[in-house]
Structure 1
Amino acid sequence: MSASARTIFFFSFYVFAAGLPMVVAPELVLGLLQLPIEGLDWIRFLGVVVLIVGYYYCNLGRAGVVPFFCWSVQMRILIVPVFVALILVFGMRPFYIAFVVPDFLGALWTWSALRKDGINPLKPPAFGVGGSGSAPKREALAGIASGASAADYRDRADRV
């Protein structure tokens, strides 16, 4: 597993740790966020969505899907500025920034690992599938679906 893949894989544990309490102990989460504890269905629903996202991060990290790593960095790097804007425009509580800092720091960690691999997260490599539907591209997709390693994927993508 590459260094950037490990950052995504380990980030999935943070996502799981955020989603699980939302499902099993929503009162705790709402109390921590100083939100009213009422109608818990919505937070449990959101917790399930967060757990699904964690599942994606875990498996995309294990599969070494580098374009996803780049897309993840692009969005996660924006979390602090977006929350600052929400605080300024909508009057959200400033302490919410503390809850998004780990996401931001994780994005910087992934960014650093990608750069060490010679990949610019703002210009992700081609996914290696799509467009004309040529046989090599279908072969690359089949390799991803079969659980091929990241190295296998890169070898197939290089032939496309």
Structure 2
Amino acid sequence: MSKSAYSAKVFAIYLFVVGPVLVVAPNFLLSIVQMPPTSEVWIHLLGVVVSMLGVYAWVAAKHENKPFLVASVYTRLFVFAAFTTFASIGLASPMIVFFGVADLLGGMWTYFALKADAQSARTVMAGQH
């Protein structure tokens, strides 16, 4: 398994934890980020979506799906930017940024892993000539 695929697999596991918690105990996570509890369905729906994203990340990692891995770098950086913006303009508690930081660090890990994988491939190819 490549380094980038491994990083996606770890990200999938993170999503496999967060998603179901949002489905069954969303107010637990909301309390961590200092947001008011809710009984609305949207948070449970978000948990389902997060869980499905975990499935996509897992399958992409298993099959070394490089386009997905590259796209995940950009989307995770966007999550960080969006969560930071939401906190900055008062739409969410500043604590929400911690979830954004998890995405930022995961995205950076995948980015550098993709670079390392590419370098490894070049080294292998150079050794074959």
Q: Give the match for residue 76 of structure 1.
A: 76
Partner SS state of residue 51, structure 2: helix
After TM superposition, the structure 1 = structure 2 runs for residues 28-67 of structure 1, keeping only pairs within 5 Å, are: 28-67=28-67
Question: What is the CA-CA distance between 1:78 and the residue it aligns to?
Answer: 2.9
Q: Which has the higher contact order (CA 8 A, sep 6+)?
A: 2
Distance in structure 2 (CA, Å) of the matches to 1:78 and 1:45: 21
Matches within 5 A, 1:1-160: 1-118=1-118
Could you say which structure has the larger radius of gyration? 1
CA distance 1:44–1:9, change in 2 (3 Å): same
Deviation at 1:63, TM superposition (A): 0.8
**One-letter identity of the residue aligned with 1:82:** A
| 5+ long unaligned stretches in structure 2 | 120-129
Q: Deviations over 1:21-57 (max 9, x none)?
A: 1112123122223333232422111111111111111
**How many residues are treated as equivalent by the alignment?**
119
- Judged with a 3 Å threshold, the aligned counterparts in structure 2 of structure 1 residues 42 and 80 are, in CA distance, closer, same or farther, namely closer
Kept in 2, the 8 Å contact 1:26–1:40? The answer is no
- Assess if the C-alpha contact under 8 Å between 2:81 and 2:100 holds in 1: no
Structure 1 gaps of 5+ residues are 120-160
TM-score (norm 1): 0.67
Aligned equivalents of 1:90, 1:101: Cα separation in 2 = 18
Give the conservation status (yes or no) of the 8 Å contact 1:4–1:113.
yes
Offset from partner CA, 1:60-101 (integer Å, 9 cap, x none): 110110011001101212333332222233453222111211
Distance 1:31 1:94, change over 3 A: closer
How well do the aligned residues superpose, as a CA RMSD in angstroms? Answer: 1.8
> What secondary structure, in the 3-state scheme, does the structure 2 residue paired with 1:118 have?
helix
